[in-house]
Amino acid sequence: MKLNQIKDNIGSTKNRKRIGRGIGSGTGKTSGKGHKGQKARSGVSIKGFEGGQMPIHRRLPKRGFTNINRTNYTELNLGRIQKLIDSNKIDPKKIINYKTLLDLGLVSSNKNRIKILAKGEIKSKIDIEVSAFSNSAKEIIEKAGGSIMILDNKRIDKKAKKSED
């Protein structure tokens, strides 16, 4: 195969519609916008307008609410921690804390709390301190001989700010 023989597949590219180029083009004169009226004009946005009828987004009932004070957790599975230990990216003898996980790229920001979930297995004894644990993750870590420490979010923010300076 040569570079000058490369072609797109048939039908993979289409010519753009050239609007306002005479009657014979099919989109001349009014350019496919019809005659006069609000939608023929430029700068008109009437999304949700139904000609004076009550719009559907106002007819339908509203349900539920969004809690603005919710706590966001970044979930982290035990299996992923074990993979990092196996690949020597985490030292199981040291305490695994927020800064360790931030340096590895497992956590993107210091705003979210970290919650350890029990998917996967942990073979080595680890000491870990994060915001939350599932009950089954606690049991698995303690069964392996490790220890857990729960942090509050204010302490995490202060630690992360100190480590950035």
Question: How is the chain split into domains, by residue range?
Answer: 73-164
pLDDT bracket for residue 162 (50, 70, 90) = low
- E-only strand ranges, the chain: 73-77, 95-96, 113-117, 127-130, 132-133, 147-150
Rounded to 5°, angle at Cα 48 from 45 and 54: 135
> Over the stretch 77-120, which tens digit does the pLDDT of each residue have?
988 888 888 888 888 888 888 888 888 888 887 777 889 898 88
Using the predicted structure, report yes or no on whether residue 163 has a pLDDT greater than 80: no
Phi, psi of 69 (to 5 degrees): -100, 15
Mean pLDDT of the chain: 85
Could you say which of 3.10.110.10, 1.10.3720.10, 3.30.70.20, 3.100.10.10 is the CATH number of the domain covering 73-164?
3.100.10.10
pTM for the complete prediction?
Answer: 0.54
